[in-house]
Amino acid sequence: MAVHERSSCPAAVAVAALIALASVAAVAGEVFFQEKFDDGWEDRWVKSDWKKDDNTAGEWNHTSGKWNGDADDKGIQTSEDYRFYAISAQYPEFSNKDKTLVLQFSVKHEQKLDCGGGYVKLLGGDVDQKKFGGETPYSIMFGPDICGYATKKVHAILTKNGKNHLIKKEVPCETDQLTHVYTLIIRPDATYSILIDNTEKQSGSIYDDWDILPPKKIKDPEAKKPEDWDDKEYIPDPEDKKPEGYDDIPKEIPDPDAKKPEDWDDEEDGEWTVPNIPNPEYKGPWKQKKIKNPDYKGKWKAPLIDNPDYKDDPYIYAFDSLKHIGIELWQVKSGTLFDNILITDDPEYAKKFAEETWGKQKDGEKAAFDEAEKKRLEEESASTKDDDDDEDEDDADDVKADATAEATKDSTDEKPEGSKVAADEKTEASKDASAEEKKHDEL
C-alpha cells in the first residue's frame, strides 16, 4: 500500500509571509500502512501456506461479524476451530529511527475466546510471505492474548539482536465479545504508551520496562563481607537469666483429683496408678529474651559497580527495517475479527482514525450484541422448556406404563385362583361322572 502523506503548506505570495512560515516547524505525519479491508483487500494480503500440509491451516472470512455497528465495514475473521492462521501484507520499507512509531488495530472475539491470541506482528524486509508462520522472525508483536484464567494480557514484545523481549509490566486486555482498539506508541526518546480504546493503560521507558540492555550497575564480584560486620538484628539479652530450678519443673504431674475406681481389682486389672495431667507450672523449654543489637549494621550487600558489559543504545526504540505486517495465530475457538490496521508516525492521526471507525460504531455494535444475546437467551430458555416438557411427557408415559404393568400383574396374580377353582370343579365333576358311569354299568 502506498505511503500517505498529510501536511499543510499554504501558498504565500509575500516574502515576509514566507519567512514567517519558514520560522515555524511544519509537522508532517506519514501513514505507512492503513487497511480497512475494503474492496481489493485480497490483492494486498498474502495467505501463507504454513500448516497446509498437515491440514491445520484455517481459513479467513471477510465479514463484519454477527453483530456490528456497520454491516458494510468488514474485516477478516478466523473461521475454523483448532486451526493455525497466518496472513501478511507488505508496505514500503522504512525505519522508525528519529521518529515516532504508532501501531494500531481493532480486534473482536465473537466466540468469547477462552484460549487464543489477537495480536499482530511487524516484520522486516526479508520475509517469504507464503512461508510466514510461527517461526518467522519479527520485530514487534503487539496485542491481546487470552488463555484460561491465568493469561489475560496485552503482549508487547520487542525483538533486539535476535532475542524476543517481553514487557515486564502487566497490561490487562479486554475480554468481552465487542470490538476494541489496541494502540502501541514508541517515541524517539525511548518512551512508550499502550492504549486501549484511545485510553492510555500503560506507559514508561523502554530502558526500564524491557530487559533489552544489560544493567548499568552490577554487584561487585570481588567484594566480601567484612569479618566484623554484624548483621544480627537481635541478640540474647545478657541480663535475662534462667530462674533457679526452672529445668526441674516437670511437664506432667499426677492428677490430684484422680481416685481409684471402686470396682478395680488389682489381681485382674493390675496395679492401679494415678494418671498424669499437664503441669500448669510448666512453661516449656526456657528461652532467653532477645533485645535489639546495638552493633547491628543491617544486611550486608555487595556494593554496585559499573557493568563492564553495559553499552548504551540510543536507538533502543528503533528498528532498521519494517516492511511487513502479519497476523499469526493458533485458535482453539475461531471467531476473532481484525480490522482497521494502521501504521503511522502520528499519534493524533491514529486517535482520530480510531474515533472515525470504532468510535462511531461502538454504540451500534453494543446494541446489536445485546439484541443477539437476548435472542440467544430466549432460544436457550425455550429449548430448556421443550426439554422439560419432553421429560414430563416421558415421566407420564413411564407412570402409565407402570400402571399398566401393575394392572397386568394383578390380573395375572388373580387368574391362578379362578383356574384352580375351575380345575377343582372339573375334577369333582369328572369324579361324579365316573361314579355315575360305574353305577350305570353295575345296573
Of the listed ranges 113-127, 283-297, 322-336, 394-408, the one predicted with least confidence: 394-408
Distance CA 344, CA 29 (A): 7
Residue 122 contacts residue 105 (beta carbons within 8 Å): no
Distances (CA, A) of 192 to 205, 316, 413: 6, 12, 90
pLDDT 10s digits, 143-161: 999 988 888 999 999 999 9
Q: How many C-beta neighbours within 10 Å does residue 193 have?
A: 16
Residue 52 contacts residue 357 (beta carbons within 8 Å): no
C-alpha cell at 301: 550487600
Instruction: Note the residue count of the chain.
Output: 443
Distances (CA, A) of 231 to 293, 294, 301, 302: 9, 11, 11, 13
For position 28, what pLDDT does the model report? 54
* Nearest to 322, CA basis, from 142, 53, 57: 142
pTM, full prediction: 0.70
What letter represents residue 370's amino acid? D
Residue 23 contacts residue 331 (beta carbons within 8 Å): no
pLDDT 10s digits, 211-237: 999 999 999 999 999 999 999 999 999
pLDDT 10s digits, 376-425: 898 888 877 666 666 666 666 666 766 666 666 555 555 444 444 444 44
For position 19, what pLDDT does the model report? 37
- pLDDT top residue among 244 and 12: 244
